[in-house]
Amino acid sequence: MTDRLARIARGWDEAAAGYEVYFVPRFAPWVRTAVDAVGDVPDGPILVPCCGTFPELELLAPRFPGRRIVGIDLSAGMVRLAKERAGRLPDADVELVQSDAAALDPRWLASCAAVVSVFGLQQLPDPRSAIVSWYDALRPGGRLCVVYWPDVAEEDGPFALLDSVVGDSAGRPWEDELVPALAGAEIERDEVVSHPMTHPDAATYFDAVHRAGPMRALALARGDDYMAELRLQYLDQAPTGAWSHYPGARLIVVRRPPSRVAGVPLTSG
């Protein structure tokens, strides 16, 4: 594991419990959007790379009874909580794998009914290669459903202010490469999906994203003094009181065309 991946893993290990409490309920509408987009797929397992605490499982398991559903995450802390969630669904066929979800194990090549990932892609070192790996895991007729935060998720709001204060202005040139990289795929949807989100106040949001979100790795890299200064800048520019916004996440849904060779019948769920 590279130093960067180790820092990311440690950050999410430390953030896992808080992420489950604060962000999982707020991100739930996008999880449902991704799972709803799976639709009818062939037989075979369903993979969830970057599964985190695995909220997708509670929607996938009843929709696809008897299917093996596999969660993959780099963070041991996230996998531990994902196993706890799986334990509450004793009838589900669940496998949890602690691994780098950016490059799937060759055993999944061309064998999966679906791959679903929500809010993991933008955190990976090479999103283009990751989405190609996920697509390559599909069997003919399989479907890939990815939701991620784009470079600009909102023009004004908690996310936008955080980007401004952190100085995140490098952009994401890889965003334009995602769909072209999926050569031969049937592009079913490529759109921005917005849902409402509310935070008690700016301080609560900043502390959550610092302690229980993607900035945990940044905190480990830069230190407490840096984060304390960042927090002062953020709160100085933020409104007071409850803060509601409508961030937009990009949804990409693609299907591997059915095989021209006989076999692989589609099933309904």
Asked if residue 99 lies in contact with residue 72, where contact means CB atoms within 8 angstroms, the answer is yes
Spell out the residues 6+ positions from residue 2 whose beta carbon is closer than 8 angstroms to its own. Answer: none
Domain-located, residue 212? no
Distance between CA atoms of 177 and 168, rounded to whole angstroms?
20
Strand order in the sheet with 46-49: 93-98, 68-73, 46-49, 112-118, 138-148, 248-255, 186-194
Domain-located, residue 66? yes
SS3 118: strand
The yes-or-no verdict on residue 255 having pLDDT over 60 is yes
Per the structure, the count of domains in the chain is 1
SS3 246: coil
Task: Name the residue range of residue 7's domain.
Answer: 3-155+171-197+246-256
CA proximity to 131, closest of 168, 181, 170:
181
Domain-located, residue 237? no
CA proximity to 268, closest of 67, 58, 42:
42
Domain-located, residue 88? yes
Query: What does the pLDDT read at residue 169?
Result: 60
Query: What does the pLDDT read at residue 65?
Result: 96
Asked which of 5-19, 150-164, 175-189, 250-264 is least confident by mean pLDDT, the reply is 250-264
Domain-located, residue 102? yes
The yes-or-no verdict on residue 219 having pLDDT over 60 is yes
Asked which of 31-35, 56-60, 122-126, 158-162 is least confident by mean pLDDT, the reply is 122-126
Proportion of the chain above pLDDT 70, given as a percent = 95
What's the Rg (C-alpha) of the chain?
19
Phi/psi of residue 197, each to 5°? -145, 140
Start-to-end CA distance of the chain, whole Å, equals 37
Asked if residue 240 lies in contact with residue 26, where contact means CB atoms within 8 angstroms, the answer is no
Asked if residue 84 lies in contact with residue 57, where contact means CB atoms within 8 angstroms, the answer is no
Domain-located, residue 8? yes
Asked which of 35-39, 102-106, 109-113, 227-231 is least confident by mean pLDDT, the reply is 102-106
Q: Which residue has the higher pLDDT, 217 or 203?
A: 203
- Please write the tens of the pLDDT for every residue from 12-47: 999 999 999 999 999 999 999 999 999 999 999 999
Mean pLDDT of 70-76: 97
The yes-or-no verdict on residue 268 having pLDDT over 90 is no
Distance between CA atoms of 100 and 116, rounded to whole angstroms?
15
CA proximity to 238, closest of 161, 156, 155:
161
Q: What is the band of 8 on the pLDDT scale with cuts at 50, 70, 90? A: confident
Cα–Cα distance list, 188 to 14, 32, 38, 138 (Å) = 37, 17, 11, 15
Q: Phi-psi category of 138—alpha, beta or left, where left has phi over 0 and alpha has psi -120 to 50?
A: beta
Q: Tell me if the pTM is above 0.85.
A: yes
- Please write the tens of the pLDDT for every residue from 221-251: 899 999 999 999 999 999 999 999 999 999 9
Mean pLDDT of 187-195: 98
Domain-located, residue 122? yes
Mean pLDDT of 172-201: 96
Query: What does the pLDDT read at residue 168?
Result: 67
Spell out the residues 6+ positions from residue 178 whose beta carbon is closer than 8 angstroms to its own. Answer: 127, 128, 131, 252
> Which CATH number goes with the domain that contains 63?
3.40.50.150
Asked if residue 70 lies in contact with residue 97, where contact means CB atoms within 8 angstroms, the answer is yes
Query: What does the pLDDT read at residue 261?
Result: 41
Domain-located, residue 30? yes
- Please write the tens of the pLDDT for every residue from 162-184: 999 998 666 788 999 999 999 99
Distance between CA atoms of 66 and 78, rounded to whole angstroms?
24
Torsion sign, CA atoms 70, 131, 179, 112:
negative
CA proximity to 18, closest of 198, 226, 243, 206:
206
Proportion of the chain above pLDDT 90, given as a percent = 87
Query: What does the pLDDT read at residue 62?
Result: 97
